[in-house]
Amino acid sequence: MRLSIECPDKPSIAVTTSCIYFRKFFTIFLFVLLAKPCIASQVLVITTSVGPPESNENDTGFYDLILKEAFRRINRQIDIDHLPAERALINANSGITDGEFPRISGLDKLYLNLVMVPEKITNYEFVAFSKKRGAKMTSWAALQPYDVAIVRGWKILEKNIVNTRSLVRAKNQKLLFKLLENDRADIAVYSRLAGGAYIRSQGLKEIMVLEPPLAVREMYLYLNKKHDQLIVPLAQALREMRVDGTYNEIKKKAL
């Protein structure tokens, strides 16, 4: 469709000024009108620090598939990037990226630009991995006699693991379990699912889970507040996925 704006052949100063302003207004109006579909189709960058089977570079991990389907249901697309845990939070909070997962509730009190999607992705079991057989993990305090390692940026661990003989913060899961392998830590605290998958993939037969879990927590997706209009639709999409069976189908496929 062709649009044109015509002014009189011999316009007065007032008419000329009006035409100029009208042209400017009309140009801005068209720009905004045409820009809306581009904004709506923007691919969001969501970060995570977890590895297989929860998330992987091919976006076929359990949480990858859950979130890609939830966003698809609200007509949005996402790219999932893998970053160290602390950096992932900082980038999402500053708006460099658009969101971060999986995280415990309450982080919006520490990172004021993040908004939690109030429907959990999953339950997380935080467990102790060790070569020390027979040690019982009845509480966080049970870790105190040991040299403990965690992944830097896991806030629930940084908050609850205190007064240990020593505490080392590793950059990622690979370095975390290297500390155990090399006897530089007695215990590594991590996700049961991801940690178990990692030690199996690396053939680390001496390392085992100490029971019971230190904590079981619901884990969530956070978005930068500039996307707060997506919070309610995403929560609804995640709820519907559980009701219609999609969540369990993805879980069976990915795990």
Q: For position 136, what pLDDT does the model report?
A: 85
Q: For position 9, what pLDDT does the model report?
A: 52
Say if CB 115 and CB 210 are below 8 A apart: no
- Per-residue pLDDT tens over the stretch 68-91: 999 999 999 999 999 999 999 999
**CA torsion angle for 176, 178, 179, 183 (degrees, to 10)?**
150
DSSP H helical segments within 2-79, as ranges?
A: 13-40, 62-73
- Per-residue pLDDT tens over the stretch 103-145: 999 999 999 999 999 999 999 999 999 998 888 899 999 999 9
What residue ranges define each of the domains in the chain, with the CATH number in brackets? 40-121+220-254 (3.40.190.10), 123-217 (3.40.190.10)
Per-residue pLDDT of the chain (255 residues; tens, 9 = 90+): 444 444 455 555 444 444 444 454 444 444 434 444 444 568 999 999 999 999 999 999 999 999 999 999 999 999 999 999 999 999 999 999 999 999 999 999 999 999 999 999 999 999 999 998 888 899 999 999 999 999 999 999 999 999 999 999 999 999 999 999 999 999 999 999 999 999 999 999 999 999 999 999 999 999 999 999 999 999 999 999 999 999 999 999 998
Say if CB 4 and CB 22 are below 8 A apart: no
| DSSP class per residue in 134-183 | T----SGGGGTTSEEEEETT-HHHHHH--S-SEEEEESSHHHHHHHHHTT
Q: What are phi and psi of 241, to 5 degrees?
A: -65, -35
Q: For position 229, what pLDDT does the model report?
A: 98
Nearest-5° Cα angle at 192, 187 to 193? 140
Residue type, 41: S
Q: For position 36, what pLDDT does the model report?
A: 41
Q: Is the pTM of this model over 0.85?
A: no
